[in-house]
Structure 1
Amino acid sequence: MTTELKYVPVLKWKQGEQKAVEGLQIPTKQSMTPLIEIPQIDWDYENDCPKKTIDEHLSKTGESLYNSWGITEPVFIDLIYIDPSERMQDGSHPLSYVLQEGRNRGINLIPVTDPNRDSAYQLEVMKANQTDQNGVCIRLKEAHFNNLQHHINQLLQQQNISPNEVDLVIDYEYASTENKNRTSIFLKGVLDTIPYLHDWRSLTLTGTSFPADLGSIDSNSIGEIERSEWLIWKDVVTTHSLKRSLNFGDYGISNPAPFEADPRFINMSANIRYTADDKYIIFKGRVIKRFGGAQYFQIAQQVVAHHEYYGAGFSAGDYYINEVANNNDGPGNATSWRKAGTNHHLTLVITELSNWISPSTSSSLHPVTP
């Protein structure tokens, strides 16, 4: 069992998130273990077929991991959104391909699994541990919380692995602000039922309050969303007698659900998602298709003028916001603003955890200078 707190952000591995991680300073990266979800293959709605083959879809995965992460600290890798029937052109399993791409570039990948993965996927996870001796990440969601001991024992036996070789992630996914207290009580009950509680290599609680869309925020306004996942984690570690470290995880500035809508009919508004102490601040403009991307200059100025802006020196994302506010860069697009917002968010969470001392473990991270 490890006692050092780690941040476990669940990241949808698209360009915005990749570039956000790439822009982090090395001490910040060393204080986190990202759980990277390889996204599903984009759909060609005009021709009603996938845009790429699985080989094309995964061809740059190793390169992106190396360019964005590039250090020896481990990363959890999850292919949950890749269709189980997919195989590479040479017949190999997509998970096998991705793990080999990591090995080829010196990236320390730990495969993620859960009780619902098919036998072929589970076999690749087991083979990876036999090859790399890196252990396994087991990610449990609400569907697995009933009969938890059965699910866990079955996986341990299937993988021929001990709890001390496993990073266990309790992922409650989305929890609305209104259900914050109920979720916290529920999760304490879940933690009480986890077998081998003190034997797991690491234990992480992850989820988010970030909604699937920003429809609740009016155009041309500044709205707020409570960071319930951060408040839930703090409540759990201060009121539950775990007597072990409990890592914090979230979904960055995203909702857990994958984006599946036809982009031709999406009327996205310009927005900057900015994380503050116990909340997300949403700086929202108007529909980009109608009013253009130049409105990002004004929105960035609103961020910089806000009393909870952390300053241009806080992170690469904050520097970019300041540059756009001063017309030295930008206006940017949805990808560049996801990069900026995510980079700021990751840096902020590491800073928060750096200053956190858990009553149950009396341990903390070393302070990190963004």
Structure 2
Amino acid sequence: MLYVPILKCKQGEKDALYTLRDSVKDQVVPLLEITPDVGGKGNFNGVEDFWKDRPFFLDVSPEYRQELSDEEYYKLIEKCTKQQTIPVIKLADSEKKITKLISEYPKGVALRLYIHEILDDDFELIYDEFSAKLDLPNTDLIIDAQHVESSKINEASFLIKGALNLIEGIGEYRNVIFSSNSFPETLQVDKHELSVIPRIETNLFEKVKPHFSKKKVNLIYSDYAINHWSFFEFIPGMQPSFNIRYTTEDFYVVYKGDTVKKGGLKIEKVKEGCIILVTSPYFKGQGYSWGDKEIHEKATGETTRPGSLTTWRAIGTNHHVTFIVNLLSNQA
């Protein structure tokens, strides 16, 4: 396991995973979050159609977890193959739920801790009691910093260092995974040109890695791909814009077009954005990933299919996961 992308379990992200090369899939164990608009509408049917015979973490988004009873949660997770599923547990989960998941899922479980939880005054007492219920060598630990501003990377690293000292026995876990997120909640960028947004997840990971190394922990990289960590609820009347999200080592390169209502997804407007990206120094080439091939074909006119907003989430996510695996492989 080289990389743990945290992805909403929605069609765009599912298509992105399905179209990855096998050599990339082999390095990835995704953490899939079921959101209210999927689980609440009965649209979650497991992962076999897009992530077959491969391990994955399964969680529900924070917003949805508050609504779910344990019984409703069991009905969701039972749609997945137990041999490949690693359920994600939280400090607020009941002992009954934890015992059931540990006993029924052969790949063990993952404990997900948010930085703000670890820094809470009562954390050590709660954690000591909670961790005593776990088989740590068969449990993965996910430390999630959620959103970190690019201007606060040093502050975040300092807080994470302090948080680590509060986690007793961290070296006993099977794997320790560190996740952060710097993609903005809304795209406040100019239209019809490329904009760059600092991508700090890799830099923050490198900053905190020595803190973990001192604890004899080999850290695994995680992020939220090309999405903000929170759940975005689409409300009727909203006017989403066509946009391309493209990951580079230091930036998220973004092209924002017109709203869908103003024809943003017409092929001529999509092609315009693709040409700007393909002719820029950021583009990796059509052979880099399935997503890059799609962008290139739309730029050159090889296809006249503009795709939907879901298609463009798949294209950007597929490129991102491929890029991060290649980046981490080269660093290793």
TM-score, L = length of structure 1? 0.82
Residue 96 of structure 2 aligns with an amino acid whose one-letter code is L
Secondary structure of 1:323's partner?
helix
Alignment of 1:95-134 (within 5 A): 95-103=73-81, 108-117=84-93, 119=94, 123-134=96-107
Q: Residue in 1 aligned with 2:331?
A: 356
Partner Cα separation in structure 1 for residue 98 and residue 301 of structure 2:
49
Q: Residue in 2 aligned with 1:365?
A: none
Residue 58 of structure 2 aligns with an amino acid whose one-letter code is I
Partner Cα separation in structure 1 for residue 279 and residue 98 of structure 2:
49
Partner Cα separation in structure 2 for residue 86 and residue 288 of structure 1:
34
Q: Closer, same or farther in 2 for the Cα pair 1:239/1:279, shift >3 Å?
A: farther
**60, 71, 88: which one aligns with 1:79:** 60
Q: Residue in 2 aligned with 1:198?
A: 171
Secondary structure of 2:170's partner?
coil
Q: Give, in angstroms, the shift of residue 129 of structure 1.
A: 1.7
Structure 1, 339-348 or 127-136: larger mean CA deviation: 127-136
Q: Residue in 2 aligned with 1:16?
A: 12
**304, 328, 353: which one aligns with 2:302:** 328
Judge conservation of contact 1:114–1:155 (CA < 8 Å) in 2: no
Q: Residue in 2 aligned with 1:362?
A: none
**93, 104, 117: which one aligns with 1:144:** 117
Partner Cα separation in structure 1 for residue 308 and residue 7 of structure 2:
19
Whether 1:303 and 2:277 are equivalent positions in the alignment is yes
Judge conservation of contact 1:271–1:282 (CA < 8 Å) in 2: yes
CA distances 1:5-43 after superposition (whole Å, capped 9, x unpaired):
52111100110000000001222112121111001137x
Partner Cα separation in structure 1 for residue 134 and residue 212 of structure 2:
28
Q: Residue in 2 aligned with 1:257?
A: 230
**295, 313, 316: which one aligns with 2:290:** 316
Whether 1:57 and 2:39 are equivalent positions in the alignment is no
Residue 227 of structure 1 aligns with an amino acid whose one-letter code is R
Identity %: 29
Q: Residue in 2 aligned with 1:169?
A: 142
TM-score, L = length of structure 2? 0.91
Partner Cα separation in structure 1 for residue 247 and residue 26 of structure 2:
21
Q: Closer, same or farther in 2 for the Cα pair 1:134/1:207, shift >3 Å?
A: same
Residue 57 of structure 1 aligns with an amino acid whose one-letter code is G
Q: Give, in angstroms, the shift of residue 352 of structure 1.
A: 0.9
Q: Give, in angstroms, the shift of residue 179 of structure 1.
A: 1.0
Aligned length: 325
Partner Cα separation in structure 1 for residue 78 and residue 263 of structure 2:
45
Q: Give, in angstroms, the shift of residue 84 of structure 1.
A: 5.0
Judge conservation of contact 2:83–2:105 (CA < 8 Å) in 1: no
Residue 35 of structure 2 aligns with an amino acid whose one-letter code is P
Judge conservation of contact 1:96–1:124 (CA < 8 Å) in 2: no
Whether 1:35 and 2:31 are equivalent positions in the alignment is yes
Structure 1 outlier segments of 4+, above 4 Å: 83-87
Whether 1:282 and 2:254 are equivalent positions in the alignment is yes
Alignment RMSD: 2.1
Judge conservation of contact 2:194–2:277 (CA < 8 Å) in 1: no
Q: Residue in 2 aligned with 1:47?
A: none
Q: Residue in 2 aligned with 1:186?
A: 159
Structure 1, 326-335 or 75-84: larger mean CA deviation: 75-84
CA distances 1:25-78 after superposition (whole Å, capped 9, x unpaired):
222112121111001137xxxxxxxxxx84x514x422xx11211123x21100
**336, 344, 366: which one aligns with 2:319:** 344
Partner Cα separation in structure 1 for residue 123 and residue 106 of structure 2:
26
**234, 237, 255: which one aligns with 2:206:** 234
Whether 1:68 and 2:50 are equivalent positions in the alignment is yes
Secondary structure of 2:79's partner?
helix
Partner Cα separation in structure 1 for residue 83 and residue 64 of structure 2:
21
Q: Give, in angstroms, the shift of residue 79 of structure 1.
A: 2.1
Judge conservation of contact 2:180–2:201 (CA < 8 Å) in 1: yes
Structure 2 runs not aligned, ≥5 long: none
Structure 1 runs not aligned, ≥5 long: 43-52, 358-370
Q: Give, in angstroms, the shift of residue 260 of structure 1.
A: 2.4
Judge conservation of contact 1:66–1:107 (CA < 8 Å) in 2: no
Partner Cα separation in structure 2 for residue 350 and residue 177 of structure 1:
22
